[in-house]
Amino acid sequence: MSTEIYRLAGTLAAAGRPFAIATVVRVEGSSSAKQGSKALIDHQGKMVEGWVGGGCAESAVRAEAIACIKTEAPRLITLDMQDEVLGVGMPCGGRMEVYIEPVLPRPELVIAGHGRIAETLAGLGHLMNFSVTVHDPAAERERFPHAEKIVNQDFGLTEISFGPQTFVVIATLHKNDHLWLQRALEGHAAYVALVASAHRARLVLDYLLAEGMPAEKVESVWAPAGLDLGAASPEEIALSIMSQIVAARRRANPGTLKGKVQHPTSTEVSGTPDAKHVIRHCEAGKTD
């Protein structure tokens, strides 16, 4: 077999792009593909390299590869090529089993802030195989030994990119947390949590609504952050947040996740003139 498929797999993996590798593991009867045949399929279903059969067999494998990448789980599929109606529509007279394995970039845990909660959370993220980025002027390398990246000077938040594999925890102690929320939500981060008191969280989320952020996006913020474990210490709070991140990533039953702060609708907030003033008051260095 050509080594090109492995070279391309390495290139895609290094670039952080998701893909799947499909391998024919069993063939019964007649089939255009042979046992051991492989194909590399990108997250859009494009056959980048390799061969696992033509026509409808290829289409079926491509569709299943997309599903595997979305669910982050491998699967073994059976393609019946003996039945044009109930099978894949190719009367080759055989049956083929194909194992499809997704290859995904490491999810990224972005922590805004420093302090004991952030330090513990970074350590837990590392243990859970997240790529950890800490963003805070006061973050020190010795306090975050496992972080892949520490950002100390980026006041415009331009060095952080957000996406469906990004999990964001904002523990800024009130400094620019509304800006972090806005960037993370606009970037479609997979999970966004705010470490703050219920009062502070309500002020910040009301501010976002007043600024025109869609209510459904604001409602997606986890505030207070973390599962309701009865956490008291910074370490326990970090554990509750990491537990919630794992549950969200693995698409646990929503009922297992802690309820959020009740936020007013955008209509209700529009009549609240103090929301923007209070946030700017706090960002000026004053407390709530």
Identify whether residues 65 and 120 lie together within a single domain.
no
Last residue of a domain, one of 103, 124, 146: 103
- Rounded-to-integer distance, Cα 207 and Cα 204, Å: 5
Within-domain flag for 114: yes
Q: What is the pTM of this model?
A: 0.74
242 and 170 within one domain = yes
> Which pLDDT belongs to residue 253?
62
In a domain, 207, yes or no: yes
For residues 187 and 238, state if they share a domain: yes
pLDDT digits (tens, 9 = 90+) for 206-250: 999 999 999 999 999 998 899 989 999 999 999 999 999 999 988
Residue 96 tokens, joined: 């083929």
User: Do 71 and 188 lie in a common domain?
Assistant: no
Same domain? For 99 and 113 the reply is no
> Does residue 258 lie within any of the structural domains?
yes
Asked, for residue 21, whether it belongs to a domain, the answer is yes
73, 170: one domain: no
Domain end: 103, 122, 147, which one? 103
CATH number at residue 238: 3.40.50.720
Q: 225 is written with which tokens?
A: 């952050």
In a domain, 288, yes or no: no
Structural domain contains residue 144 = yes
135 occurs within a structural domain: yes
Residues of the chain with confidence (pLDDT) below 50: 85-87, 262-273, 275, 277-288
- The bridge status of strand 108-112 relative to strand 19-29 is unpaired
- Residue-by-residue DSSP string for the chain: --THHHHHHHHHHHTT--EEEEEEEEEEE--SS-TT-EEEEETT--EEEE-S-SHHHHHHHHHHHHHHHHHT--EEEEEE-S-TTTS-S--SSEEEEEEEEEE-PPPEEEEES-SHHHHHHHHHHHHTTPEEEEE-TT--GGG-TT-SEEESS-TT--S----TTEEEEE--TTSSHHHHHHHHHHTT-SEEEE-S-HHHHHHHHHHHHHTT--HHHHHTSBSS-S--S---SHHHHHHHHHHHHHHHHTT--GGGSPPPPP---HHHHTT-THHHHHHHHHHTT---
Is residue 268 domain-shared with residue 160, that is, in the same domain?
Answer: yes
Whether 220 is covered by a domain: the verdict is yes
The reply to whether 141 and 28 lie within a common domain is no
Domain end point (choices 78, 103, 128): 103
Residue 15 neighbours by CB distance under 10 Å: 8
Same domain, 39 and 135: no
Q: What confidence score (pLDDT) does residue 271 get?
A: 39
Q: Are residues 130 and 273 in the same domain?
A: yes
Q: How many domains does the chain have?
A: 2
Per-residue pLDDT, 83: 56
Per-residue confidence (pLDDT) for residue 217, from 0 to 100? 93
Select from 38, 31, 51 the least CA-distant residue to 6: 38
Give the C-alpha separation, 73 to 153, whole Å.
38
Question: What's the domain range around 204?
Answer: 108-283
Do 112 and 54 share a domain, yes or no? no
- The verdict on 232 and 277 lying in the same domain is yes
Please count the CA atoms within 13 angstroms of the CA of 128 that sit on its side-chain side: 22
